[in-house]
Amino acid sequence: MSTPIRVLMAQLNLLVGDIPGNTGRIIETALEARDRHQADLVLFPELALSGYPPEDLLLRPSLELRIEQALERIKQEVSGVTLVLGYPRYRDGALYNMAGVIRDGELICEYAKQCLPNYQVFDEQRYFVAGDQPCVFEHQGARIGLSICEDIWHSAPTEQLADAGVDLVLSLNASPYHIGKATQRAEVVAQRARQVGAPVVYLNQTGAQDELVFDGNSLLLSAEGETLFRGAHCDEGLYLASFDTASGKLASEQASIEEPTADASVYQALVMGVRDYVNKNGFKGVVLGLSGGIDSALSVAVAVDALGADRVEAVMMPFRYTSSMSVEDAEAEARALGIAYDVISIEPLYDSFMQQLQGQLAGYAPDTTEENLQARCRGVLLMAISNKKGYLVLTTGNKSEMAVGYSTLYGDMAGGFDVLKDIPKTLVYQLSRYRNTLSPVIPQRVIDRPPSAELAPDQTDQDSLPDYDVLDRILELYVERDYSAQAIIDEGFEPADVNRVLRLVDINEYKRRQAPIGPRVTQRGFGRDRRYPITSGWKAGI
C-alpha cells in the first residue's frame, strides 16, 4: 500500500529585497512543515527568496552572491522535508526566474520560467531570460512537474508536462489582485489541470508591495478541474494536502476557506495594502485630514482596520466654507473609531498667505487659485505633523478625481499613500455601505449628502463634473478598456460629456505622475499599469 505524499502550501507574506529575512522564514516554515505537520514536501511562492516583484534590485551586482548564500543556508539547515521554492538565479551569465527543488542538502533540479509576462504591471522581460524545458522530479514514486505563475496561463508549458507524463503539478505564483481575479485564476488553472490530466497545487503569495496587492487565494484542483480547496484572501496560511500516489487523487486536509463577497474582497485588499506599506516601511502610524466627506471617512476606516486606532490620527482643518455638518460628522467618525482627533483652523494660515501674495495677485479676479491655496494650507499642516511624529500622511483622493485632475498638487495630493487611488467614486459609496455592516462608523448623512470639496460657497462636485454614475462609466471605458471617444459616445453618452472628460484625463497626466501611490484593485490602475506621456499632441477625440 502506497504512502500518500503530504504537501504543505506556504502562502506567505514576504518582503521584497530582504533575502536573509525571507530565507529565515522559509527555513522556519519548512521545519514547521516537517515537525508539526509531518509534511513530505513544502511549496513556497515564486521568487520567494527575493520577494516579488524585486524590480531593478535584480540588476544589482551582489544579487548573485546573496542568492547563492541563501540557497546554501537552506541546504545546510533543512533536512527531512523537500522544499520547492522560487528565486532569481544566474546560469551561464543569464538571469532566470527559477524554481528549485531542495532535498536533504542537495539542489536536485531547477526549472526556469518559460512565459515571462510583459504587460500591465509586469515587465519580466526587462530582467529574465525565458526557459524552454520542462522540469519533472520524482518523489515517493510520483512524477511531479513544476510551473511558475504565467506558465499556467498558457498551454505550451502545460503540454510539455502532459507529454512528460506527470502525476502532479506544483505551481508557484506571485499573481497580483484585481477585482474578479480569483475567479479568473480558478477557471484557468482548472483548464490546465484537465489539459495535463493531473491534479494541480496552485500556491499564490499574499501581502502588498508598493501599489500591488497579492491576495493569496491558493488552490487545490483535481485532474478534472474541480476546486478542492481555496486558501485565505489577503492573509497568510499554511495549507496541507495529501496526494495518493496509487490513485492519483489529491485531497485537502482542511476545510476550504469561504470566499469573501465582492465588496469584502476589495475592502480587505485596501486594508492589507495600507498595513503592509506602513509596516514594511517602518512608519509609526498614519495621519490624514478628516473633512466630513465620504472619501476621508472611508480612508480613515480602512486605516484603523489596518493598523489599529492607536496608530491613526485625524485632523479636521475647517475654513469659512466648511459646513457645521462636516465638522460634526468628522468628529462623530473619529469618536466611533476611537482615534486621536484634532481641529486646526486654516483661516489664519490662509489669510497670512493672501496678505503676502496681495502684490502678486492684485488686479486678478478670484478663481481656483484661492481654492487651491486652502488645500495647500492643509497639506502643510499634515506634512508638519508627519515630520514631527514619524507618521505617514494618507491622502484621500479617489480614482475618479485622480482621472480628471479634481485635486490640488501640494495640497490634498500631499502625502505618501492614497488609500482610494484605484477606487472609483461609485465604489467608494459601495464600500462605505459595506464597512458600516461591520460596525457603524461612517455617519449615514456622509453617504447621503452631495459630495463637495467645500472650497467655495455652496460648492458640489457636480458643479464641474458629470454625475459620478456617468463619469465613472466613461472613465472605465476610456482608462480601463481603451475605448475611443466615438466608441464611448456610441454607448449612449452625451458627446459634450465624453469629450470634456477625456480631455481632462489627458491633460492631467502631469498631476498623476506626482501623486502618491495606492493599492491597485482594478485591471488598469494609474501608475504601473497606465504609462502615458505628459507632453503629447495626441487628441483623445478620435
CATH of the domain at 386: 3.40.50.620
Instruction: Give the pLDDT of residue 455.
Output: 64
Instruction: Give the pLDDT of residue 50.
Output: 98
Q: Measure the CA–CA gap between 53 and 225, rounded to whole angstroms.
A: 29
Q: Measure the CA–CA gap between 400 and 419, rounded to whole angstroms.
A: 13
50 has binding-site annotation: no
Q: Quick one: 176 and 243 in the same domain?
A: yes
147 has binding-site annotation: no
Give backbone dihedrals phi and psi of 136, rounded to 5 degrees, phi first. -130, 130
Question: Which residues, other chains included, contact 36 with Cβ-Cβ below 8 Å and sequence gap of 6+?
Answer: none
Instruction: Give the pLDDT of residue 419.
Output: 98
Q: Quick one: 206 and 288 in the same domain?
A: no
Q: Quick one: 230 and 193 in the same domain?
A: yes
Please indicate, yes or no, if residue 492 is contained in any of the structural domains: no
Residue 140, CB-side half-sphere exposure with 13 Å CA sphere: 19
Domain span at 49: 5-259
Compute CA distances 179 → 99, 119, 215, 327, 431, whole Å.
28, 17, 11, 34, 13
181 has binding-site annotation: yes
CATH of the domain at 159: 3.60.110.10
In this predicted model, what pLDDT tens digit does every residue of 323-371 receive, in sequence order?
A: 899 999 999 999 999 999 999 999 999 999 999 999 999 999 999 999 9
* Domains contained in the chain, number: 2
Element (H, E) at 273: helix 262-280
Element (H, E) at 168: strand 168-173
145 has binding-site annotation: no
Instruction: Give the pLDDT of residue 528.
Output: 87
Q: Quick one: 255 and 118 in the same domain?
A: yes
Q: Quick one: 349 and 447 in the same domain?
A: yes
pLDDT averaged per 10 residues, the chain (length 542): 89 98 98 97 98 96 97 97 98 96 97 95 95 96 97 96 97 97 96 97 98 98 97 97 95 93 98 98 98 96 98 96 91 96 96 96 94 96 97 97 95 96 97 97 92 61 79 96 95 94 95 96 92 86 62
261 has binding-site annotation: no
Please indicate, yes or no, if residue 479 is contained in any of the structural domains: no
Q: Quick one: 187 and 226 in the same domain?
A: yes
The residues annotated as belonging to the active site are 46, 113, 149
289 has binding-site annotation: yes
